Amino acid sequence: MFSGCQSLKELNIFCLKTKIVTDIQSMFYRCSSLKELNLSNFNTDKIENMNNLFFGCSSLKELNLSNFDTNNVKNMSYMFSGCSSLEELDLSNFNTNNVIDMSFMFDGCSSLKNLNVSNFKTNFVMYMNGMFHGCRPLKELNLSNFNTDCVIDMSFMFDGCVSLKDLNVSHFNITKYSDKKDIFRCCTAKLKF
């Protein structure tokens, strides 16, 4: 809908009705000049696809998605990829019970110092490749609720996470990966397997 609107600085979508919408992939793709976005009136009850939703929104400093109902979402890949100015992101209300794809979800969120994904349920997730790729300032990640039994690709999941101190992945099912270095490439955290 607004994909590629690189010069767009303001957007008032308060009256936009999304009650029966099922797919909002790439809706704000590469809206790189957008500094704020009010989505408090968004109805996401029926949304199944949020792939690339905020991809390349490199001027956004914060996003309030507390009203997002993500019960039906299956694809969150590249959702915040390239949001390099994003400093605050509250995902505490996110329900990820039905998500299959989280690949590169936070890729390139190079200003994000805190990220709470402790409520994420990942029982059906198959793709986590590059999920936290390039999240350089992140100091900690609580992945205690992560279930990786269905995951078939974890490559470069923590690549470039140079500020992580400790990372407990003892409950991760990574026995099927012959090259675990790909998962933790350029990640300086002390790993607990």
Is the distance from CB of 43 to CB of 15 less than 8 angstroms?
no
The amino acid occupying position 86 is L
Residue 184 sits at φ, ψ, to 5 deg, of -110, 20
SS3 content of the chain, % helix, strand, coil (to 5): 0, 10, 90
Q: Which residues of the chain have pLDDT under 50?
A: none
Q: Half-sphere exposure (CA, 13 Å, Cβ side) for 22?
A: 3
The top-level CATH class assigned to 1-193 is alpha beta
Measure the CA–CA gap between 76 and 61, rounded to whole angstroms.
Answer: 20
Helix (H) and strand (E) counts for the chain? 1, 4
